[in-house]
Amino acid sequence: MSVRQIDELTETIYRCRHHEFEGLSVRGTAERLGISIPTVVRKMNELRVQAPQLFPILTKFQKAVYDMAMSGHNVQEMQAYFEHDSDSSIQHALSVLRDNGLISRRTKCNMKTFNEVTMTQYVRETF
């Protein structure tokens, strides 16, 4: 029997934030759970130390930009697809992806994808 190393709130916050689940922002997670933004940030920082393999966390928008980038779409095509989002939003998402080592101009990314079943199993095995 394994000992659980993270509390249920931390796991719930993680699931709210992770792009394969709800992909909410920090603010959206705080509002959804009725907790403060600093609590979300603190819990995510604690989790990053405990389980760095579970990161990076992307929003759904960042994940969509990632998918398009990996499919070979350029920024102009992304702007046409995400017509309601500004160029700066797309550029920011690309910057986050580059900063996390998920995309570069020369290499393909190596990012784990999880569905709910494999994520639940992975979290349980990890903790």
> In this structure, are residues 57 and 17 in contact, taking their beta carbons and an 8 Å threshold?
yes
Q: Where are the domains of the chain?
A: 8-57, 60-99
* DSSP output for 16-81: HHSTTTT---HHHHHHHHT--HHHHHHHHHHHHHH-GGG-----HHHHHHHHHHHTT--HHHHHHH
Read off the pLDDT of residues 59-91 as tens digits, 9 standing for 90 and up: 788 888 888 888 888 778 888 888 766 778 888
For the entire predicted model, the pTM comes to 0.61
pLDDT at 115: 45
Measure Cα distances from 20 to 2, 10, 38, 90, 104 in Å: 25, 16, 23, 19, 22
pLDDT at 110: 35
Phi–psi pair at 56, nearest 5 degrees: -80, 165
Read off the pLDDT of residues 86-107 as tens digits, 9 standing for 90 and up: 778 888 888 888 887 888 755 3
Instruction: Give the mean model confidence (pLDDT) for residues 34-38.
Output: 96
Average per-residue pLDDT for the chain: 78
| Residues across the chain | 127
